[in-house]
Amino acid sequence: MRQAFFVTGTDTEAGKTHVTCSLLHATRRWGRTAVGMKPIAAGVESNGCNSDVACLLGASSIAPPLDWVNPFLYEPFIAPHVAARAAGRPIEIPVIQHALERLRDLVEVVWVEGVGGFRVPLDERYDTADLARILALPVILVVGMRLGCLNHALLTAEAIARRGLTLTGWVANRIDPAMACFEANLDTLRARLDAPLLGVVPHGGSPEQAAPLLCLSVLPGFDAAPSAT
Q: Name the catalytic one among 28, 38, 152, 174.
A: 38
- H helices of the chain, in order, are 16-29, 51-59, 66-69, 80-87, 93-104, 128-135, 149-162, 182-192, 207-210
Q: Are 201 and 22 in contact (CB under 8 A)?
A: yes
CA dist 209 and 65 (Å) reads 27
Tell me, yes or no, if 38 is annotated catalytic. Answer: yes
CA dist 200 and 143 (Å) reads 10
CA dist 190 and 210 (Å) reads 20
CA dist 101 and 110 (Å) reads 10
Count CA atoms closer than 13 A to 30's CA, side-chain side.
23
Which are the catalytic amino acids?
38
